[in-house]
Amino acid sequence: MEKNGPDVGAREPSFTAMWCAWARNTHATVHPSPIFSDTRSVQLIPEQALERVALEMGRFSQEASDALILLTAIRHRILADRLPPAHERGVRQLVILGAGLDTTGFGLPEWGDMWHVFEVDHPATQEWKRQRITDVGWEVPPNLVFAPCDFEHQDLLSALTAAGFERQLPALVSLFGVIIYLTADATKAMLTELAALAPGSEVTLTYESPPDGADPVVQETYDKVSPVVDATGESFVGYYHESEMEALVRAAGFPNAIHHPIDELNARYFAGRSDRLRLRTIERLLTAVC
Ligand SMILES: C[S@@+](CC[C@H](N)C(=O)[O-])C[C@H]1O[C@@H](n2cnc3c(N)ncnc32)[C@H](O)[C@@H]1O
């Protein structure tokens, strides 16, 4: 698939990416017994943007704020848990789609230098992030490369291949917090490309179902986040019920889809806590296996 559109790169760096990085840091530093610790990514956020995130978060109830923060942590915890078994079976390519301020590639386990890490993001956000990395004086690890790609207008595998991705080798792929911003056509095209990756590959993704008001805390997050993302030009457009996502993944060509139900994740990662921290179904998680 070759796509070419007029507005490639024509937008601001992603505010929601900064919001996610702030949330991961807050989980790691404010919540007791964090399930995932990332205090690195937040260092890339400029002071003014940090103030804006804090302002937005001040509008949420404590429960909604905690639920939003936790959704950014669980994505990464699942990926962190899937990395060692992937390494065991010989996977050595990690592809981070819609990376935002994800700094996984800067902090892999000690065997991580055997991996090739590909950060893929919209050119506007990626260019900005690279400048921020320079501004704060970090060195990019030699096994990390950047592959700019606008998923609405450009071909993912072409962008990856240009960055050195080896299509005949398997990859571990993350697609966190991105599908909600993509048109149905772009999501379908991307999943079709990903389903054609080498056997042994897998894609862990998040997606949102249409809000139905069943959980008032979840509804609050939608009601309060939506106007903010609309104002930043990152509107929510791609909602899928669980059955629709399952059908989409299968139609794309993935033979297997592993759902990660929120109840199961709560039982695995949040059982027995006295602080009542727990995940809510703001977004859903799924691993599609090639
Ligand atoms: C909510 S942020 C999530 C960032 C990161 N995955 C995380 O979990 O921290 C959404 C990301 O999707 C990226 N994104 C949204 N639309 C995109 C598009 N059309 N092409 C490429 N990336 C896109 C944004 O640039 C941003 O980095």
For 79-121, the pLDDT digits (tens) are 999 999 999 999 999 999 999 999 999 999 999 999 999 999 9
For the chain, give every domain's residue range. 16-289
Q: What is the side-by-side strand order in the sheet with 256-260?
A: 144-148, 116-121, 93-97, 172-175, 202-207, 284-289, 256-260
In eight-state DSSP terms, residue 42 is: G
Does the structure show a pLDDT above 60 at 10?
A: no
Nearest atom (ligand 1) to Cα of 76:
8
Does the structure show a pLDDT above 50 at 8?
A: no
CA distance 258 to 205: 11
Nearest atom (ligand 1) to Cα of 152:
19
Going from the Cα of 273 to the center of ligand 1, the distance in angstroms, rounded, reads 32
Give me 234's structure tokens.
């990152």
Nearest atom (ligand 1) to Cα of 96:
6
Q: Which CATH architecture has domain 16-289?
A: 3-Layer(aba) Sandwich (3.40)
Going from the Cα of 260 to the center of ligand 1, the distance in angstroms, rounded, reads 21
What lines the ligand 1 site, CB under 6 Å?
14, 16-17, 20, 72, 75, 98-100, 102, 121-122, 125, 149-152, 176-178, 181
Q: Where are the alpha helices (DSSP H) in 8-90?
A: 15-29, 47-57, 62-88
pTM over 0.85: yes
Its sign, for the CA torsion 280, 105, 164, 92, is negative
Contact, 253 vs 192, CB < 8 A? Answer: yes
